[in-house]
A and B are shown apart, each in its own frame.
Chain A
Amino acid sequence: QVQLVQSGAEVKKPGASVKVSCKASGYTFTSYGISWVRQAPGQGLEWMGWISAYNGNTNYAQKLQGRVTMTTDTSTSTAYMELRSLRSDDTAVYYCARRLQIAAAGTTLGYWGQGTLVTVSS
């Protein structure tokens, strides 16, 4: 079965960087891209971007361009999301997710990691 297991909670100071990992199992890693979605406390879901695990192509949300980098390591079936110049409003739970394997579903996110809480505080 498809599983996405994320790294543990992080506490960072403003201006620092954080790198969250997402280890995939149960499918051929290079056959699907990984999206990253975040959720600030008490708020809705915000898509951050997507990376192809096949060729490393990325598509980032415009508001995060220049601060976010998504990468993959195909040897370990792991995706990474690095966010730089952290601010207090980056405090959120960060999720990795994979689309459903049904063509008619488009970019529907059928599989989610458990989430990683990133707290930005001085």
Chain B
Amino acid sequence: DIQMTQSPSSVSASVGDRVTITCRASQGISSWLAWYQQKPGKAPKLLIYAASSLQSGVPSRFSGSGSGTDFTLTISSLQPEDFATYYCQQANSFPITFGPGTKVDIK
């Protein structure tokens, strides 16, 4: 199975800050990586697929990069509605595996 790790596990930030979250796969997955945002009591919401493609309707302040084993999600200017938990997921093969999550909260 492909193991996914994320760092940091949590980050405190202010509105307007630039936030970067890193995801690493235990083996190369090319660009088969997705990022999700989850708010309390809600289902995960897809933000980025294929490592860097923005899902329809997602604000352009979200961006993704990377390939192989190392990936990054960047929020260019944090907005109040962005405080949430973010997960990466390898979309290369079964079993689907997720990173442990990164909680973005208010400083």
Binding site for B on A (CB under 8 A): 35, 37, 44-47, 50, 59, 61-62, 95, 100, 102, 104-110, 112-115
Question: Do the beta carbons of B95 and A62 come within 8 Å of each other?
Answer: yes
Question: Do the beta carbons of A110 and B91 come within 8 Å of each other?
Answer: no
Of chain B, the residue at the smallest CB distance from A104 is B50
Q: How far is the CB of B63 from chain A (nearest CB, A)?
A: 16
Question: Do the beta carbons of B94 and A109 come within 8 Å of each other?
Answer: no
Asked whether any CB of chain A lies closer than 8 Å to the CB of B78, the reply is no
Asked whether any CB of chain A lies closer than 8 Å to the CB of B13, the reply is no
Q: Which residues of B contact A35 (CB under 8 A)?
A: 96
Question: Do the beta carbons of A46 and B50 come within 8 Å of each other?
Answer: no
Q: Which residues of A contact B53 (CB under 8 A)?
A: 102, 104-105
Q: Report the Cα distance A88→B38, complex, angstroms.
A: 24
Main secondary structure of the interface of A (DSSP, over half): mixed
Task: List the 10 shortest-distance A-B pairs measured between CB atoms, nearest first.
Answer: A106-B91, A112-B43, A47-B96, A108-B34, A105-B49, A108-B49, A45-B98, A108-B91, A107-B91, A106-B32
Binding site for A on B (CB under 8 A): 31-32, 34, 36, 38, 43-46, 49-50, 53, 55, 87, 89, 91-101
A102 in contact with B49 given A61-B95, A108-B91 (CB within 8 Å) = yes
Q: Which residues of B contact A114 (CB under 8 A)?
A: 43
Question: Do the beta carbons of A105 and B96 come within 8 Å of each other?
Answer: no
Q: Report the Cα distance A47→B95, complex, angstroms.
A: 7
Of chain B, the residue at the smallest CB distance from A50 is B94
Q: Which residues of A contact B55 (CB under 8 A)?
A: 100, 110
A105 in contact with B95 given A110-B46, A115-B43 (CB within 8 Å) = no
Q: Report the Cα distance A113→B45, complex, angstroms.
A: 11
Q: Which residues of B contact A95 (CB under 8 A)?
A: 43-44
Q: Report the Cα distance A30→B46, complex, angstroms.
A: 22
Question: Do the beta carbons of B50 and A45 come within 8 Å of each other?
Answer: no
A47 in contact with B98 given A110-B55, A112-B43 (CB within 8 Å) = yes
Question: Do the beta carbons of B49 and A45 come within 8 Å of each other?
Answer: no
Q: Which residues of A contact B99 (CB under 8 A)?
A: 44
